[in-house]
Structure 1
Amino acid sequence: MQTISTTAGWTAAARELETARADRFLEDPVTLCTEVERRQWHDVVVSVLGYSPPVVPVRARLGDEVVRAAAEDGIRQVVSLAAGLESRVLRLDLPEDLLYVEVDLPALLEARSLRLAEAGPAARPACRRVEVAADLSGDWHRSLEDAGFDPRARTLWVVEGLLPYLDADSCHTLLRTVRSLSAPGSRLWCDHVHPDVFAAAHYAPVLKSLEALGVLWASGWTDPVAQLAADGWRARAWTVKGLAHPEPDNPPVAWMPPVPARTDTSDSGYHWLIWAHTD
């Protein structure tokens, strides 16, 4: 719980910092972070690197576009696993008949509900939003179906900021479960880190600070496309750096807005952003 709740607050703080920029790539009016979380994000990460890592706002903005594209294509079921303090369902104007399910640990959902209540009218989604309190290491799919999830319908799965904290076997198990619940034409948006980040000298102070707080990355992928193929998905993957400077042999997809060159930072080559689908 410590790792999950801590990083949820930090990513909210990172989105808030991006929103405050004049040249922002992401605008997130409901970030739900506390002053303590803002200070921790600054002390543990920003002050060490000299900047707020761009992966969080880039991932969030492109995730917004994934959800919009899915809704425009008629998908009416979105499931966000380890939703944390993500406010995507609040900042997007989604169809009223779209079911948006947010799955996370009970304690985190309770804390999130309190912060949403404090946010007031701005925290009211346009679509049908449902929370599912569950541990993703357990039998969570039954709770998902009890909340109205239909495994026969096309689904967009959003798995942001979770996979790096799982060991390789747990990643595989989770993605196989998600695939088993996915009807033909379903989609997946997720992220992971490249294992080279663990040996990057400039990133070592950040990893040391994270370890002191019990916030640890447990795995990485050198080839997300092959990894997802093994779990039943057809995938494409980009690093944040690769999207800031598009590569001819792996261009962005049509729904992706241009990622600003300023996001090419010393860590942006280690973070994968992954879009996948079922046949």
Structure 2
Amino acid sequence: ARAYRMEWPADMTVFEIDQPQVIEFKATTLAGLGAAPRAELCTVPIDLRQDWPKALLDAGLDRNRPIAWIAEGLFGYLPPAAQDRLLDNVTALSAHGSRLACEAVPDMSQVDHDQAREMMRRVTAKWREHGFDFEFADLGYEGERADVASYLDNLGWRTVGKPMSRLLADNGLAAIPQSNDSVSVADTVYYSATLSK
């Protein structure tokens, strides 16, 4: 809903790619609230497992102009190879000077996966207290992932990353409490990258 809640330059078009059901839910909910986008909004209802680059181009994306991409809360829900493919496609669609903001799943190579699944079961139990009925452990993908910064740099991006704990401190926000879990949300790294072609 960034097109609705952020200030945008007057000539900006925001392309939003998401599952068709998610786009429909957002549109219905926001219209019911009387919300209006603050920029031209072009929704692209498509599953990322399909040919989303073609759908985006068909919707009017101009690949000859710099693009600002946001991929937040996404990579953990993609298999490792799909994460790489998404970054390859973003690069192929991007002109010189394009920017990318994304977050990366913490390195799970040294994690006890049984312990991580138990942590996710506890998270699921907390969400179920609020009426959500799904299993968090079933949403993510295990397996070794490419390091996002290195992968992007090899594609021609200049990438800078900061862990969530540092971003919180830099903005005067409280730290995430320490946990006994092998991986913490505080270990999530946010990246900003600029493409040089």
The TM-score normalised by the length of structure 2 is 0.79
**Out of 248, 259, 262, which is 2:171 matched to?**
259
What corresponds to 1:92 in structure 2?
A: 6
What corresponds to 2:128 in structure 1?
A: none
Unaligned runs of 5+ in 1: 1-86, 246-257
**Out of 114, 120, 135, which is 1:207 matched to?**
120
Change (3 A) 1:261 1:203: farther
Distance 2:114 2:50 in 1: 36
1:52-97 CA deviation, whole Å, 9 max, x = no partner? Answer: xxxxxxxxxxxxxxxxxxxxxxxxxxxxxxxxxxx22111121221
**Out of 104, 107, 119, which is 2:21 matched to?**
107
Deviation at 1:222, TM superposition (A): 7.7
The structure with the largest helix share of the pair is 1
- Whether contact under 8 Å (2:71, 2:103) holds in the other structure is yes
1:7-26 equivalent positions in 2, closer than 5 A: none
What corresponds to 1:232 in structure 2?
A: 156
Pair 1:147-2:59 in alignment: yes
**Out of 150, 155, 159, which is 2:71 matched to?**
159
- Whether contact under 8 Å (2:84, 2:146) holds in the other structure is no
Pair 1:193-2:105 in alignment: yes
Deviation at 1:219, TM superposition (A): 5.2
Unaligned runs of 5+ in 2: 125-133, 179-183
Distance 1:270 1:176 in 2: 25
The one-letter code sitting in structure 1 at the alignment partner of 2:43 is E
- Whether contact under 8 Å (2:19, 2:47) holds in the other structure is yes
Deviation at 1:119, TM superposition (A): 1.4
Distance 1:216 1:169 in 2: 13
1:219-262 CA deviation, whole Å, 9 max, x = no partner? Answer: 565843212223432211111112234xxxxxxxxxxxx32341
1:167-200 CA deviation, whole Å, 9 max, x = no partner? Answer: 2111111100110000000000001121249449
The one-letter code sitting in structure 2 at the alignment partner of 1:208 is R
Percent of counterpart pairs with the same letter? 27
Q: Secondary structure at the match of 2:33?
A: helix
- Whether contact under 8 Å (1:167, 1:218) holds in the other structure is yes
Change (3 A) 1:166 1:238: same
Pair 1:124-2:36 in alignment: yes
